[in-house]
Amino acid sequence: MRYNYLMLVFLLAIVSCFSQGMGTNAGCNFAGSWYGGSPDVPFPYYGLTITPISADRFSVTGQYGTEVQSAGYLHATLWTGEFSKSDAHTYSGMLFSMWQWDPKSPLLPPGVDPALPEVDFIHIKELEFLDCNTIRFSYDLVAVYYNFQYSTQPPLAPPLPGFVLKFDPLLVEVYHRIPTTVSGAWAGAGLSSAFAPGKGNWRRPPRK
């Protein structure tokens, strides 16, 4: 009788592990706030917010941490999209962003109407946990649509004018979960706010 009870407990534990996913993602949760980007480039970074839609589907919003005018654009939206479970251990999905060209920029590509938005889609081939506080995005292609018109452009049709760029090897980004507790190093640092940039105000003064 005791043997049968122990076997039942063991089997229930196995079912629980498989329902959450085995390996480094067992019991981990994508939901939350993250920061990171390309592990090979120190800047720029993105901030991510991941929100659950269902048990295996998530919404993601990413904000680029730099200006876009030097690349020939006036404005750009946040990156936003969704990903969902593609097998026992990985997720896949799509992100998109819209960009407005500066009509006076020398970088404006030929044939591009700056009155129409550029829309970029990037495909998440794999999204994996490296540990519960670290995730890795691997992208296999990006599609750039110039002169995008919502009423006539079929979703993910060949982007004309535009282009599709395939990443080989895959383009990789790594993100870290935002901590939710105060670091002991912060608490013991003893740095007076008088020495902070802005003479006591932690915010830097605006550039003139």
* Full pLDDT tens readout for the chain, 208 residues: 433 333 332 333 333 333 333 334 668 999 999 999 998 877 778 999 999 999 999 999 999 888 899 999 999 999 999 999 998 878 999 999 999 999 999 999 999 999 999 999 999 999 999 999 999 999 999 999 999 988 777 777 888 899 999 999 999 999 999 988 887 777 776 655 555 565 555 555 555 5
DSSP, residue by residue, 184-197? HHHHTT---GGGST
| pLDDT for 17 | 35
Q: Where are the alpha helices (DSSP H) in 60-187?
A: 184-187
Global pTM value: 0.77
d(CA 201, CA 208): 18
CB 52 within 8 A of CB 30: yes
CB 51 within 8 A of CB 64: no
Structure tokens at 176: 């870290």
| pLDDT for 65 | 81
Dmax (CA) for the chain in angstroms is 82
Class of domain 28-183: mainly beta
Report the relative pairing of strands 79-85 and 162-177 from DSSP bridges: unpaired
Query: Is the peptide bond preceding residue 169 cis, with omega within 30 degrees of 0?
Result: yes
Q: Which uninterrupted H or E stretch holds 92?
A: strand 91-101
| pLDDT for 193 | 58
| pLDDT for 42 | 75
CB 23 within 8 A of CB 39: no
Burial letters 176-208, b for 16+ CB under 10 A, else e: ebeeeeeeeeeeeeeeeeeeeeeeeeeeeeeee
Domain assignments of the chain as residue spans, ordered by start? 28-183
Neighbours of 175 (CB within 10 A): 24
